Amino acid sequence: MTRAFPSGDYPRDLAGYGGDLPHAQWPGGAKVAVQFVVNVEEGGENNVLHGDEASEAFLTEEPTSALRGRRNLNVESQYEYGTRAGFWRLRRLFEERGLPLTVFGIAESLRRNPGLVAAARESEWEIASHSLRWINYAELDPETEREHIERAVRIHTEACGEPPLGWYTGRNSANTRRLVVEHGGFLYDSDSFSDDLPYWSDVDGTAHLVLPYTLDNNDGRYVNTYGFQSESFSAYLTRALELLLEEGAERPRMMSVGLHLRISGRPGRAADLRRFLDVVAGHPDVWVARRVDIARHWRTVHPASRWLPGSVDPLAEDTPGDAPADALMGARPRS
């Protein structure tokens, strides 16, 4: 049954910035901010060892179904490849080119992989929270999800030595953003795929920054029905960057790239990814940044007070400074 909403009460923003994009003013005059995410989910996925009813069946190398009450050793070993081999291969590729990135880390995965955490911190990568577990939170009640968020932050802080500043659940619920804002302390979340730029969202009177993520510039498409082949991922990314650079000459854009240890960490895919890394490394019109760096920049150039004057940003004091006047030229605040 279709639900009718009074005018102005529809809970989705279908307009966004429209044709009046704000000027991002990326550092160095970059036309595109490119942001790489490496998802660390191994050890936090569905598994009867973790008390789940069934084994994991999502983002695996071959079509499979969840085995209820039983372990799936084939799936387990695919995930294990990510932390045993994939992480270290990807780390070498990014380190060789001096490219920063953000880790979306499942708290239980970080807890079970201290060597990985130490290496990521040594590389000065941002480690954002990917929630407590790699499970479908749309199936959980708000109270359980709230508890998982609290536990995720606590475990993350213990494993990494500091709390996360960014959040991405991935398999989120309709309550996730509200609960994340309720918990507090996050400069941004990325549970959105709705734009090529960051944007502010009003969450019950609180101004909250959203840095959209991506499912198209994402290696998950290697293993789903809309898949890439071994040659086409880097070509797709390169074409996307070329168009964004053209558009960014007038109004700069943001481009996210999503990677998984057990997927892009495989040799053939890592070799293809290397092609795109070589494209962006040292590109004069590209700013490669961590998500937290983009969030801090946006908070300075486009503070919430300019876009949501009726909302309160509890973290505003952490990113002081007024936006340059030309940053807002032609831009229309979002409601």
Q: What is the pLDDT of residues 163-222, one digit of tens each?
A: 999 999 988 999 999 999 999 999 999 999 999 999 999 999 999 999 999 999 999 888
Domain extents for the chain?
32-319
- pLDDT band, very low/low/confident/very high, at 9 (cuts 50, 70, 90): confident
180: phi > 0 → left, psi -120 to 50 → alpha, else beta; which? alpha
Query: What is the DSSP secondary-structure string of 40-98?
Result: E-TTSBS-GGGT-SB---SS-SS-----BTS--HHHHHHHHHIIIIIHHHHHHHHHHHT
- Report the sign of the C-alpha dihedral through residues 150, 157, 288, 239, in that order: negative
Please report where in the chains the tokens 């801090």 appear, as a residue: 296
| pLDDT computed for residue 47 by the predictor | 74
| pLDDT computed for residue 101 by the predictor | 99
**24 near 197, Cβ under 8 Å?**
yes
Q: Find residue 207's DSSP bridge partners.
A: 202
Q: CB count, 10 Å around CB of 228? A: 21
pLDDT above 70: residue 66:
no
Backbone angles phi, psi at 7, to 5 degrees: -55, 130
| H or E segment to which residue 254 belongs | strand 253-260
State what percent of residues in the chain have pLDDT above 70. 84
- Report the sign of the C-alpha dihedral through residues 295, 296, 300, 303, in that order: positive
Least confident of 7-21, 60-74, 279-293: 60-74
Amino acid at 223: V
Please report where in the chains the tokens 């390169």 appear, as a residue: 238
Tell me if residue 20 falls in helix, strand or coil: coil
C-alpha 202/C-alpha 185 separation (Å) is 16
Return the structure tokens found at 16. 């966004």
**276 near 148, Cβ under 8 Å?**
no
pLDDT above 50: residue 322:
no
C-alpha 272/C-alpha 269 separation (Å) is 5
Could you report the per-residue pLDDT of 78-117, keeping only the tens digit for each? Answer: 888 999 999 999 999 999 999 999 999 999 999 999 999 9
Give the end-to-end CA distance of the chain in Å, rounded to a whole number: 28
**143 near 180, Cβ under 8 Å?**
no
| pLDDT computed for residue 226 by the predictor | 64
C-alpha 249/C-alpha 158 separation (Å) is 43
pLDDT above 50: residue 333:
no
| pLDDT computed for residue 75 by the predictor | 78
Mean pLDDT score, 234-239: 96
**38 near 103, Cβ under 8 Å?**
yes
Average pLDDT of the chain is 88
| pLDDT computed for residue 154 by the predictor | 98
CATH of domain 32-319: 3.20.20.370
| pLDDT computed for residue 327 by the predictor | 41
How far is Cα of residue 173 from the mean position of the Cα atoms in its chain? 16
Q: At what angle do helices 114-122 and 142-160 cross, to 10 degrees?
A: 70
Return the structure tokens found at 132. 């407590």
Alpha helices (H) in 167-219, listed in sequence order: 176-183
Q: Find residue 103's DSSP bridge partners.
A: 38, 127
| pLDDT computed for residue 33 by the predictor | 99
- pLDDT band, very low/low/confident/very high, at 332 (cuts 50, 70, 90): very low
Return the structure tokens found at 103. 């880790």
C-alpha 308/C-alpha 314 separation (Å) is 13
C-alpha 186/C-alpha 167 separation (Å) is 7
